């Protein structure tokens, strides 16, 4: 039996997140050449850039370098959110976002 590549392992999470984002933004799409540096993150939409990471552990952590790469490569003055979708070996899914962005979302929600 052939072992799955990391791309194949992460594809299921990417498809799940993409389907959820499309409920809000029907024009959302998988980034071109995801992981090759051709686009920002794995999913692009009018509202966000998203990097998806599937981990084969119970605990999840993110590398600051990956977070910085995701944040510092988007256009200046963009209003898009930067998020990371994470999934552990137990298929628990989480979202990571900048604390200031979280509070902006809460503020808009309660206005």
* pTM of the full structure: 0.84
Q: Are 69 and 37 in contact (CB under 8 A)?
A: no
98 lies in some domain: yes
Split into its structural domains, the chain has a count of: 1
Whether pLDDT at 6 is above 70 = no
21 lies in some domain: yes
17-71 residue pLDDT tens: 999 999 999 999 998 765 555 678 899 999 999 999 999 999 999 989 989 888 8
In degrees rounded to 5, what are phi and psi of residue 32?
A: -70, 130
CATH number at residue 41: 3.40.1350.10
61 lies in some domain: yes
Domain that residue 54 falls in: 6-110
1 lies in some domain: no
What per-residue confidence (pLDDT) applies to 35? 53
Two tokens at 36?
């090759």
What per-residue confidence (pLDDT) applies to 38? 61
| Secondary structure (3-state) at 39 | coil
Between the alpha carbon of residue 42 and those of residues 51, 100, 103, the distances in Å are: 5, 22, 24
Whether pLDDT at 75 is above 90 = no
Maximum alpha-carbon separation in the chain: 54
């Amino acid at each position: 039996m052939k072992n799955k590549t990391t791309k194949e392992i992460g594809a299921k999470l990417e498809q799940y997140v993409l389907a959820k984002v499309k409920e809000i933004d029907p024009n959302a799409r998988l980034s071109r050449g995801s992981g090759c540096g051709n686009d920002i993150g794995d999913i692009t939409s009018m509202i966000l850039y998203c990097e998806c990471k599937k981990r084969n552990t119970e605990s999840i952590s993110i590398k600051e370098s990956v977070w910085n790469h995701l944040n510092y490569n988007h256009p200046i003055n963009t209003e898009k959110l930067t998020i990371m979708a994470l999934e552990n070996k137990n298929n628990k899914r989480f979202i990571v976002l900048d604390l200031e962005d979280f509070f902006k979302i809460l503020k808009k929600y309660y206005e």
